[in-house]
Structure formats: structure tokens, C-alpha cells
């Protein structure tokens, strides 16, 4: 997205994907069951189009709103989460699609007509990336409520390479560059990074050992079969409170039978002598070699306690993924400085249905596999600003999450590949099981 043609291509592909996610739903599916981790699909679309209106068309040209009466309804600051389910407040599918197409037409016409200034380039990038975040949340909405998979997912997946799952690699101690480095003041010459990735800094880490691979279903199943969910000594105070809330919750998705306390991950079930895992609206045999996914932070923490391991800090994770050192050329990905979507499970293709040993070309220099894509990886770190943090153009991108969210890293199978890099920091509440989250562990 460095020039007009790149922006047009990115905007067009983003448009096609998000419109397809709305158009492929039946009318009754637009009213998704309420869940604290998802949004109704029409609101996701309308909100992301409103973002384009405010931060590009209005900010650059003073263009009036498509419908001023709708502005506060699409604005996440004014419209509380629970109110987004009110079908009487919002336009129907046809009117929302008409709104989206009108805004896209304005954006594309502006791109063709106006010079691409530094500010415009930055704002276009921001708007497109923002909408791709909502594409990911629309995908995990389908998974959470049990809707059919999106049309662009693929049934085939790479096989694993010869590699011992779970084996550790040693990351040497010393100084590492963390976060996005200082960039030129010229916006056109800047790589894009969100405010919470900046400013970059140098940290000193002690030597540590980290698993080459994500925790697999087979490994997590051992924890389940050893009664991990019924052993309070394995769970922190926050984890025990989460278990109690899960006992009382009734999400209504039919994903798993509700029991006195959870006995397995929310998207697993034991039926007729076999373990199964739900992917969208299908129950599939639990694949032992695939990564465990849609795991709450508390589950990852309890597993580590059971296994005698620990979660990495976000600085350790980044050191293992990128290995950036002071004085050496900075790289954004485990394999180099350019995204190669063939090295990762992203863009909603395999949806995490891959062995933890797959995608060897995506290995980091340290030997860690699938650190980009497949599942967001929980770290032990709280989501806090780096020293010298300054808010970006969208003031709510990060500040509302500081303090009570955990950091996850690396992107997931549902993340758009163009959005991610090794310094990207995602913030999720530790309770979340709707997002495509997993983890890898470190030796204590």
C-alpha cells in the first residue's frame, strides 16, 4: 500500500471480502445471538464504513456524512456494545450495503482524483487496516455462534514437517530491540505501525528456553484427561473466578454441553467415545497434531502450571520471533522484512486446521515455528504502553485497553496477512474464548 495502485488494490480486496461476509448470511443469521465477544455483522460493516467517512473523507475534504442521523449509531464510542443488537435502531441489510457501496465509491473516486499526500497515504492505510480488523472479528463471530464457514476458507492444509512438537530452543540472553524503531518524520517514508508498537526500545533479557511449536491438541488433551479443569490448585484466583463464570454462563451456541464446571475447552466435546472440535457449524474429529485454539488466558495459565512450564513475556516472544538486536538491520517478520502469505496460515484459509509442525518456511532464526498466523499467542504480559507512548490519530486504538487486557502476539488464521508484523501487539481480556487464541510455553 505504498502508492495509489496498491491502495486501490487493498481497498478493493477488503471491500469484496467484507461485503461477501455480509451477503453470504441468510436474513435470520444477521441477528446473531448476543455474546460479549462479538458484534452483529451489519454493525461491523456500518462501523468500519463510518470510520472511512470520519478519518478520510471528512478529515481530508470536509465531506458531509452519508446520513448524519446514523453517525452516532455507527460510532463505537457512542453506541454501547449491548445496544448494537437493536434491529429497530439500524438500517436493514440493503440500506447498509447501499451505504457501504456509496462510501467505497467516494473513496475510490478520491484516490483516482486527488494527489496522494503523506497524510492521505497514512489515513488510507489506517482505514484499510481498521476494516481488516473487523473482518477478523466477523470471522470469529461466525465461529462463536456456529454459522457456516466463509466462502474463502480452504479445506486442504499443509502437512507437518519432520520436527518434534514441543521441543525447546534456547534464546540467548542480552539486549534486544523491541517494538517499532524510530521512523522518518516524512509520513510517506514511514512503514505503518500502530501507536502501541511505538516507540521502539532496547530491553535486556536473560537466556530462556521456549517451545519451537504451539501447544497441540494432543498436549492439551493430556491436561484435560488428567482432570485439569477440576483441580483448583492449578488455577490462579482469576482462573478460578473464570471457571465459576463459565459454569453460570449459557451462551446458547450449542458448542458444548454445560456442566457443573467446564471440563474441556469450550469448542470441544466428548461424544460416542471420541473427542470432537467445532469449526463453524461442523463438529470434526479432534486432530491431535493441530494447535489447541480458542483458549482463554486462564486455561493457558493453568496448563502451564500443570506442565511445570510458563507463558513467555511479550518481550521474550518478540525476541524469539524476530531476534532484532541493537546495531543489526531491523526485520519485521521471522524470515525477513517482507510478508509472504505462503509461509503462514492467515487470511481465513486453513483456519488453524494445520499441524503445529507445518509451515517450516515461516520459521524464525531461532527455530520457532508458526509465530506469525495460525493463532494469537497469549503472553504473560499486561497490555501497557511503552515508555514515551503517544496516541495515534484514533485515540481509542489502544488507551481503552491499557491495564486490564493481556498481550497476545503474532496474528491468527483469521487475521489479514497485510495487517500483521512481529511487533504488532493485540490486547484481549483474559476471559476470551471466541478469538482464535492459542499459546506456546517456556521452561521455568
DSSP secondary structure letter of residue 426 = E
What CATH number corresponds to the domain at position 9?
A: 1.20.120
How far CA 300 is from CA of 285, 381, 391, in Å, comes to 22, 13, 31
Same structural domain, 130 and 22: yes
DSSP secondary structure letter of residue 84 = G
Same structural domain, 309 and 429: yes
Same structural domain, 211 and 113: no
Beta strand spans in 172-254 (E): 174-178, 201-205, 208-211
Same structural domain, 269 and 169: yes
What per-residue confidence (pLDDT) applies to 257? 41
User: DSSP per residue over 400-421, as a string?
Assistant: TTTTTSEEEES--TTS-GGG--
Coil vs helix vs strand at 75: coil
Q: Is-contact 443 218, C-beta < 8 A? A: no
User: DSSP per residue over 109-174, as a string?
Assistant: HHHHHS---HHHHHHHHHHHHHHHHHHHHHHHHHHHHTPPPPTT--S--PPPPS--TT-EEEEPPE
**CB neighbours of 360 closer than 8 A, spacing ≥ 6?**
161, 163, 369
What per-residue confidence (pLDDT) applies to 253? 41
Q: Is-contact 381 407, C-beta < 8 A? A: yes
How far CA 356 is from CA of 143, 152, 373, in Å, comes to 21, 22, 11
**Residue 149: which of 279, 58, 306 has the closest Cα?**
279
DSSP secondary structure letter of residue 6 = H
243 φ, ψ (degrees, to nearest 5): -60, -40
Distance in angstroms (rounded) separating the CA atoms of residues 295 and 167: 21
Cα 412-417-423 angle, rounded to 5 deg: 75
pTM above 0.75, yes or no: yes
Same structural domain, 393 and 419: yes
Same structural domain, 115 and 172: no
**Residue 134: which of 57, 72, 76, 55 has the closest Cα?**
76
How would you list the strands of the sheet with 437-438, edge to edge? 425-428, 406-409, 376-382, 437-438
Same structural domain, 370 and 225: yes
Range of the domain at 440: 153-444
Distance in angstroms (rounded) separating the CA atoms of residues 291 and 355: 7
One digit per residue, pLDDT tens: the chain, 444 residues? 678 999 999 999 999 999 999 999 999 999 999 988 899 999 999 999 999 999 999 999 999 999 999 999 998 888 888 899 888 888 999 999 999 999 999 999 999 999 999 889 989 999 999 999 999 999 999 999 999 999 887 766 666 776 776 799 999 999 999 999 876 555 555 678 899 999 999 999 999 999 999 999 999 999 999 999 999 999 999 999 999 988 766 443 444 444 446 799 999 999 999 999 999 999 999 999 999 999 999 999 999 999 999 999 999 999 999 999 999 999 999 999 999 999 999 999 999 999 999 999 999 999 999 999 999 999 999 999 999 998 887 777 888 889 999 999 999 999 999 999 999 999 999 999 999 999 999 999
Cα 41-45-46 angle, rounded to 5 deg: 115
Same structural domain, 250 and 287: yes
Same structural domain, 206 and 124: no
Distance in angstroms (rounded) separating the CA atoms of residues 344 and 350: 10
Same structural domain, 13 and 79: yes
Same structural domain, 129 and 221: no
What per-residue confidence (pLDDT) applies to 184? 55
Number of domains into which the chain is organized: 2
Distance in angstroms (rounded) separating the CA atoms of residues 80 and 73: 9
Same structural domain, 312 and 410: yes
Amino acid at each position: 500500500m505504498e502508492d495509489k495502485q496498491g491502495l486501490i488494490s487493498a481497498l478493493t480486496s477488503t471491500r469484496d471480502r467484507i461485503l461477501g461476509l455480509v451477503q453470504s448470511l441468510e436474513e435470520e443469521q444477521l441477528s446473531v445471538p448476543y455474546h460479549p465477544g462479538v458484534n452483529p455483522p451489519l454493525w461491523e460493516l456500518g462501523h468500519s464504513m463510518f470510520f472511512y467517512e470520519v478519518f478520510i473523507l471528512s478529515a481530508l475534504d470536509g465531506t458531509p456524512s452519508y446520513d448524519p442521523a446514523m453517525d452516532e449509531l455507527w460510532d463505537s464510542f457512542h453506541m454501547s456494545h449491548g445496544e448494537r443488537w437493536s434491529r429497530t435502531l439500524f438500517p436493514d441489510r440493503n440500506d447498509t450495503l447501499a451505504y457501504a457501496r456509496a462510501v467505497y465509491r467516494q473513496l475510490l473516486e478520491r484516490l483516482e482524483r486527488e494527489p496522494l499526500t503523506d497524510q492521505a497515504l497514512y489515513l488510507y492505510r489506517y482505514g484499510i487496516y481498521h476494516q481488516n480488523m473487523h473482518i477478523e472479528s466477523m470471522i470469529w463471530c461466525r465461529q462463536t455462534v456456529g454459522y457456516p464457514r466463509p466462502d474463502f476458507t480452504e479445506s486442504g492444509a499443509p502437512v507437518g514437517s519432520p520436527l518434534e512438537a514441543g521441543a525447546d530452543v534456547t534464546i540467548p540472553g542480552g539486549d534486544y530491540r523491541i517494538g517499532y524503531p524510530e521512523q522518518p518524520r516524512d509520513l510517506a517514508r514511514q512503514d505503518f505501525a500502530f501507536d502501541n508498537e511505538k516507540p521502539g526500545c532496547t530491553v535486556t533479557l536473560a537466556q530462556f528456553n521456549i517451545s519451537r511449536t504451539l501447544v497441540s491438541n494432543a498436549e492439551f488433551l493430556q491436561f484435560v484427561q488428567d482432570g485439569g479443569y477440576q483441580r483448583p490448585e492449578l488455577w490462579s484466583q482469576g482462573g478460578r473466578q473464570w471457571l465459576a463464570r463459565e459454569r453460570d454462563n449459557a451462551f446458547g451456541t450449542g458448542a458444548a454441553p454445560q456442566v457443573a464446571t467446564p471440563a474441556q475447552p469450550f469448542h470441544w466435546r466428548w461424544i460416542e467415545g471420541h473427542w470432537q472440535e467445532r469449526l463453524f457449524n461442523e463438529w470434526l474429529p479432534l486432530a491431535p497434531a493441530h494447535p489447541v485454539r480458542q483458549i482463554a488466558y486462564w486455561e493457558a495459565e493453568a496448563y502451564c502450571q500443570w506442565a511445570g512450564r510458563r507463558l513467555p513475556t511479550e518481550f521474550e516472544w518478540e525476541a524469539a520471533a524476530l531476534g532484532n538486536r541493537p546495531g543489526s538491520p531491523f526485520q519485521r517478520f521471522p524470515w525477513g522484512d517482507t510478508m509472504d502469505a505462503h509461509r503462514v496460515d492467515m487470511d481465513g484459509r486453513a483456519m488453524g486446521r494445520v499441524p503445529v509442525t507445518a509451515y517450516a518456511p515461516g520459521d524464525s532464526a531461532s527455530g520457532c515455528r508458526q509465530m506469525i498466523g495460525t493463532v494469537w499467542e497469549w503472553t504473560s504480559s499486561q497490555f501497557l504502553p511503552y515508555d514515551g507512548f503517544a496516541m495515534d490519530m484514533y485515540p481509542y486504538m489502544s488507551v481503552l485497553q491499557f491495564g486490564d487486557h493481556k498481550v497476545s502476539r503474532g496474528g491468527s488464521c483469521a487475521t489479514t496477512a497485510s495487517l500483521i508484523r512481529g511487533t504488532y501487539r493485540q490486547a484481549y481480556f483474559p476471559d476470551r474464548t471466541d478469538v482464535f487464541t492459542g499459546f506456546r510455553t517456556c521452561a521455568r
